[in-house]
Copies of this chain bind each other. A is one copy, B any other.
Amino acid sequence: MEILFKNARILRRPSSGIVEEGELLVSGTRIRFVGKKAPSGDYDKIIDCRGGLLMPGFKDAHAHSAMVFARSASDDLPLDRWLHERIFPLEERLSPGDVLALSKVAVLEYLSGGITAAADMYYFPEEIAEAGLRTGFRFLVVGTPREDGEGMEEFMALLRKWNSVPDSLVRFVPGFHAEYTATEGMLQALSKAAHELRMPVWAHNSETAREVEECRRRHDGMSPTEYMDSLGLFDYGGGGYHCVHFSRGDMEIFRKRGCHVVSCPGSNAKLASGIAPLTDFLEEGISLALGTDGAGSNNALDMFYEMRLAAVLQKLRLGRADAFDGLLALQAATEGGALAMGLSDSLYLEEGQKADLALIDLDRPEMRPLNDIARNLVYSGSRDAVRLTMVDGRILYEDGEFHLPESAEDIYRKAEEVTSRLLSESKDA
């Protein structure tokens, strides 16, 4: 299958901000040519981009896709009531099949927003993987061992099984929810497993000030980062989700271990957790990615919003309009995410890379005039301008329509059924 994109503007490397005019040829799952004029051939499909922008797809580096059930079912509550009265009781009711049905709604949202891959940590991890395989979407599933630390062999077997499929859309990495929900025994067993697997470890980290304080009380004054590092959890890298309340010492550990920060500005703002010090991370040489978190807390799964919010919150935090360059947000939302998720084949629009890309319609008013297209993406870009999304060489979204085995209507209907059941059971409880 060969697909030619012609009359395109092309942003090969988002961090460069450089846009060129030309053509891009996809052959199978990979990019075969990027440049002025593609080699002629008998293409299966030719797409006239009409001057639109081809760019690497966004990477949502922290998500709980299935949490769409909680979207707008739990707004405007204090964090502890949100978690304990709304989210936990609903999650307890999740049954087999629910996560698959719900995650597909999130996949629709990813695709229609130009997102080509998401890192997802949630219950029923193999259902997340299934949602990826059935829709053609790329998932990095962050698997978590049992809370008591037992069954570590089965956990490792699960990871090995999913990672043994060559060139798969789905890969697994190990992780755990957070220091405050983990036992030390489990973390020690997980660290041992990560060493054996030689794999990075991911966890929520320092999302709230209280979380850091309580960790210090529990663990001889250590921050969550210091504590995790003391257990050897970062010996093969990995990283943290949120990292709002990070000290310079925490950053030094992340830098030394090659760990990534995945910032979730939308979720951190809505839950009033604070503003992460993104400029400090970059100053310390830490690789930065962005994530949407789940729809229960954010509530949109929209990387345009995350980029823009990331940039303007740093300006507000430091009281300087030049405190953060919009291009850094674009880099985090694309290249930074790919690096955090180990997707070194989905970094750029270059020959040999995976065909994971988005086509942005520049004939939308919010993209005009064309003064600086890359910064336009950050500061006025919108899912409204996403014309096409391709994952692994397949067009999954085009001109408002999804090209999936199942219709969007069916996906919505099944997710509404699951949501109604969860919410009504919750009211009964």
10 sampled A-B residue pairs with Cβ under 8 A: A75-B379, A109-B365, A266-B312, A269-B313, A270-B379, A274-B319, A300-B380, A300-B382, A368-B415, A369-B412
Q: Does A364 contact B (CB under 8 A)?
A: yes
With beta carbons under 8 angstroms apart, the residue of B75, B365, B375 that contacts A326 is B75
From known contacts A316-B269, A376-B299, A379-B298, infer whether A76 and B370 are also in contact, taking CB-CB under 8 Å: no
Smallest CB-CB separation from A69: which chain B residue?
B369
Chain A positions 383-411 with a Cβ under 8 Å from a chain B Cβ: 383-384, 386, 400, 408-409
Taking A78-B320, A109-B365, A272-B321 as known contacts, 5 extra A-B pairs with beta carbons closer than 8 A to each other, sorted by chain A number, are: A69-B369, A72-B376, A266-B312, A274-B319, A371-B419
| B272 and A366 contacting across the interface, CB-CB below 8 Å | no
Query: Roughly how many angstroms separate A8 CA and B423 CA in the complex, as a whole number?
Result: 24
| A72 and B371 contacting across the interface, CB-CB below 8 Å | yes
From known contacts A77-B321, A77-B322, A321-B78, infer whether A270 and B366 are also in contact, taking CB-CB under 8 Å: no
Query: Roughly how many angstroms separate A68 CA and B320 CA in the complex, as a whole number?
Result: 23
Q: Does A108 contact B (CB under 8 A)?
A: yes
| B371 and A71 contacting across the interface, CB-CB below 8 Å | yes
| A75 and B372 contacting across the interface, CB-CB below 8 Å | yes
From known contacts A266-B312, A312-B266, A315-B271, infer whether A300 and B412 are also in contact, taking CB-CB under 8 Å: no
From known contacts A73-B372, A380-B299, infer whether A272 and B316 are also in contact, taking CB-CB under 8 Å: yes
Q: Does A236 contact B (CB under 8 A)?
A: no
With beta carbons under 8 angstroms apart, the residue of B78, B106, B318 that contacts A322 is B78
Smallest CB-CB separation from A80: which chain B residue?
B321
With beta carbons under 8 angstroms apart, the residue of B79, B81, B366 that contacts A301 is B366
Nearest CB on B from A318, distance (A): 7
Nearest CB on B from A7, distance (A): 15
Nearest CB on B from A379, distance (A): 4
Nearest CB on B from A191, distance (A): 33
From known contacts A72-B375, A320-B272, A323-B272, infer whether A412 and B312 are also in contact, taking CB-CB under 8 Å: no
Chain A positions 80-96 with a Cβ under 8 Å from a chain B Cβ: 81-82
Q: Which of A77, A269, A318, A423 has the most CB of B within 10 A?
A: A269
| B272 and A376 contacting across the interface, CB-CB below 8 Å | no
Query: Roughly how many angstroms separate A50 CA and B20 CA in the complex, as a whole number?
Result: 41
Chain B residues with CB under 8 Å of A298's CB are 379-380
| A269 and B369 contacting across the interface, CB-CB below 8 Å | no
Nearest CB on B from A186, distance (A): 29
| A71 and B313 contacting across the interface, CB-CB below 8 Å | no
Chain B residues with CB under 8 Å of A371's CB are 70-73, 419, 423
Q: Does A205 contact B (CB under 8 A)?
A: no
| B366 and A109 contacting across the interface, CB-CB below 8 Å | yes
Q: Does A363 contact B (CB under 8 A)?
A: yes
With beta carbons under 8 angstroms apart, the residue of B73, B105, B321, B419 that contacts A79 is B321
Chain B residues with CB under 8 Å of A323's CB are 272
Interface pairs A-B: 3 shortest CB-CB:
A109-B365, A300-B380, A108-B365
With beta carbons under 8 angstroms apart, the residue of B274, B321, B324, B384 that contacts A112 is B384
Chain B residues with CB under 8 Å of A72's CB are 371-373, 375-376, 379-380
With beta carbons under 8 angstroms apart, the residue of B275, B379, B383 that contacts A382 is B383
